[in-house]
A and B are shown apart, each in its own frame.
Chain A
Amino acid sequence: MKTYDQPLQPAAFFILFALATGDKHGYGIMQEARKLSENRFTLGPATLYTTVQRLLRSGWIEEVPGPADHDPRRRYYHLAKQGRAAFQREMERMEALVRKSKALRSRPAESRS
Chain B
Amino acid sequence: MSDVLRLSSRIYAQLLNFYPEDLRCGHGAEMALVFDEDLAAAQRDHGMRGVLRVWRWTAGEFLRLALPGWICSPAVRVPVMSIALSAGMMLAMLPGILPNGPGRPPNPRAVLYGLRFALMLPLFSTPFICAASFLAGRGAGLVSLRDAIEAADGYDDLPQERLI
Contact = CB atoms under 8 A, between A and B. Distances in A.
B163 interface: yes
A53 B61 contact: no
B23 A50 contact: yes
Given A50-B65, A58-B164, A3 B159 contact: yes
B27 interface: yes
B contacts with A: majority SS:
helix
B61 A46 contact: yes
B22 interface: yes
Interface string B21-46: 01100110111111101100000000
A102 interface: no
A30 B61 CA distance: 15
B70 interface: no
Interface residues of B, number: 27
Given A27-B38, A30-B38, A53-B26, A45 B161 contact: no
Contacts of B22: 53
A49 B23 contact: yes
A55 B160 CA distance: 10
Contacts of B163: 54, 57-58
B57 A53 contact: no
Contact of B33 (A1, A6, A44, A73): A73
Contacts of A8: 161, 164
Interface in B44-92: 57-58, 60-62, 65-66
A27 B35 CA distance: 9
Interface of B: 19, 22-23, 26-27, 29-35, 37-38, 57-58, 60-62, 65-66, 155, 159-161, 163-164
Interface of A: 1-4, 6, 8-9, 12, 25-27, 30, 42, 44-55, 57-58, 60, 71, 73-75, 82, 86
18 contacts: A25-B30, A27-B33, A42-B57, A44-B61, A45-B38, A46-B61, A48-B31, A48-B34, A49-B23, A49-B30, A49-B34, A53-B23, A53-B26, A53-B27, A55-B164, A57-B163, A74-B30, A86-B161
